[in-house]
Structure 1
Amino acid sequence: MEAQKIGYDDVAQAARRIGSGIREVAVAPADDGVWFALEFMQHTGSFKARGALNLLLAHREAGTLPEAGVTIASGGNAAMACAWAAGMFGIPATVFVPETAPAVKVDRLRGYGADVRQVGTQYADALGACEEFAAGSGALASHAYDNPLIAAGAGTLVDEILAQVPEPDTIVVSAGGGGLFTGVATAADHHGLRTIVVEPEHCRALNAALEAGEPVDVPVDSVAADSLGARRASRLALDTARATRADSVLVTDEEIIDARRHLWRHHRLAVEHGASTALAGLRRFEGEPGTTVVVLCGGNTDPSDLH
């Protein structure tokens, strides 16, 4: 099968397209040689706003943005971004989320004006319902991660990091289906940076794809499953991981929880478990020389368990 990929030109075009529509990522020094990219401060509370806006703008430019609006299946964050972007264009957004989606995300989705439909217990259940709805309604089918425009939009944060962090060597990201990873790794590789991609050991879609040589279904059972719970990584993410020789790391739920508490206790940063997964993975590389940027990708969380 021919490799699927995006190029740095796609990321650069996305950056020009979304322009002032998104917030430039804030960065902050953390420990010696480590910086945090505070992407949880993005519109809708996660990096997903970048890809959602890029997708709709590209379809508007092409004249293919339907009056029926846009539909998406998501654990929550991609759906919020889709609803937010649809609101900017004045078109409807119909979003499908699992019944297990956190209440904080469902409430926010409705706040963005989305028609929220909860189906099944996993992302794959919501995706099936979304595909059926798109086929019958004519709505534009977006995707939480498996779309080149979505991935390219996510990758736009890399150049923003490079404009603020002195000579970074490595970028660390967490992965579910691989949209953020695909965009970030593509842009990072263009600039000669290493990418470390981190997943929960029981939500290891990309790691399993690398092991098997093709995307495969995996069990989904992690504290971070609400944002990293893709059952299967995209072919785009797999081919990007191969092309960029990214380091794939697995972490336990205990490590993810500990990293999230560390971010709160020592930095007063309240993030999702999906975001703290990246920091948990970095700990496997402690002591290595160079400057590392950890992308804290989402903050749509209930902070009541942070203490």
Structure 2
Amino acid sequence: MTATLSTEAAAARIAPHVRRTPLLRAEADGRPLVFKLEQLQRTGSFKLRGALNSLLTGPLPEQVVTASGGNHGIGVATAAAILGLPATVFVPNSVPAGKARRIEEAGARLVRVGDRYAEAAAAAHEAAAAPGARYVEAYNDPAVIAGQGTVAAEIVADAPDVDAIAVAVGGGGLAAGTALGAGGRLTVAVEPERCSCLHQALEAGQPVDAEVDSVASSALGATRVGEAPFAVLSSHNVQSVLVSENEILAARDRLWHEFRLAVEPAAAVPFAAFLAGRVPGALPCVLLCGANADWTP
């Protein structure tokens, strides 16, 4: 494992700035499980971890630039504010209003470009070419992956009896980090049926373009899994699982009604797989990755 892929080194870098989110031991449909409550992270999602580790790996830039569908932008904006750096976040016009508001509340300049993430990303990369600027990747960066992997490292340390970790997949950064930090345990990588770039990449043997059409696509809407995450996910103990739109929404609602856990649809994706019987293990952990949707049950 290279230095940039070390979850231990990442944990040491970011510890002063992030919350060590709690676990909740519970039971659903007669099966025990553990929830990792990462939606309680200070930015409302895990994205702060990877953004901080990326910025703290190497000299700090003069300004920070990124593109995001929402959660990554909030994480980068907050990381930049913590480190005293100006940040600009490019977003597509389709960005949820609540996520756009939180990016600006974190202190970043918000720039809307185009109708798709790819258009926002192209504009952001152009802006990041300016002297002193650094582009912070959403998932296709070993330092970001290692930062996200600190979530799994916390799970393993706080609940060593967990034998599988179920996690939602967008571009693959969190899932790859989970595989790195899981200590050899099974990573169950869960995606919506109509938003499944990892599943299709594993079938093809390489990253390929995939459809993006899901209630969870504002957080999981990558058209292609990143090369760096794919290298990790295709070489570790990973099982790819798909869930339907109805299963995602039912899982989200059940998290609220039964456990009083309010999350965005993307965070309910791994719990949907658990309820459908697609997550193996005597004591799996379901990672609830974010709660940045303006949603009322």
Normalising by structure 2, what TM-score? Answer: 0.94
What's the counterpart of residue 12 of structure 1? 8
Within the alignment, does 1:76 sit opposite 2:70 as a pair?
yes
Contact 2:4 2:143 in 1 (8 A): no
CA distance in 1, matches of 2:131, 2:212: 30
CA distance in 1, matches of 2:123, 2:188: 33
Deviations, residues 164-219 of structure 1 (Å, cap 9, x unaligned): 2251100000000000011111111xx22111000111111111111111111112
How many residues end up aligned between the 2 structures? 294
Name the aligned partner's letter for residue 114 of structure 2.
G
**Structure 1 portions without partners, runs of 5+:** none
Deviations, residues 231-265 of structure 1 (Å, cap 9, x unaligned): 11011222222211311011111111111001011
Alignment of 1:91-170 (within 5 A): 91-136=85-130, 138-170=132-164
Q: Secondary structure at the match of 2:167?
A: strand
Match of 1:86 among 54, 64, 80: 80
Alignment of 1:290-301 (within 5 A): 290-301=282-293
What's the counterpart of residue 36 of structure 1? 35
Match of 1:207 among 195, 199, 205: 199
Contact 2:179 2:237 in 1 (8 A): no
Contact 2:166 2:279 in 1 (8 A): no
Q: Secondary structure at the match of 2:289?
A: coil
Normalising by structure 1, what TM-score? Answer: 0.91
What's the counterpart of residue 234 of structure 1? 226
What's the counterpart of residue 66 of structure 1? 61
Q: Secondary structure at the match of 2:114?
A: coil
What's the counterpart of residue 50 of structure 1? 49
CA distance in 2, matches of 1:80, 1:9: 23
Within the alignment, does 1:276 sit opposite 2:268 as a pair?
yes
Name the aligned partner's letter for residue 174 of structure 2.
L
Alignment of 1:166-185 (within 5 A): 166-185=160-179
Deviations, residues 10-44 of structure 1 (Å, cap 9, x unaligned): 11110111122110021001213201000010021
What's the counterpart of residue 225 of structure 1? 217
Flag the 1:9–1:136 CA change in 2: closer, same or farther, 3 A.
closer
Q: Secondary structure at the match of 2:253?
A: helix
Q: Secondary structure at the match of 1:156?
A: helix
Measured on the aligned residues, the alpha-carbon RMSD in Å equals: 1.7
Contact 2:4 2:142 in 1 (8 A): no
Q: Secondary structure at the match of 1:223?
A: coil
Q: Secondary structure at the match of 2:212?
A: coil
Q: Secondary structure at the match of 2:261?
A: coil
**Structure 2 portions without partners, runs of 5+:** none
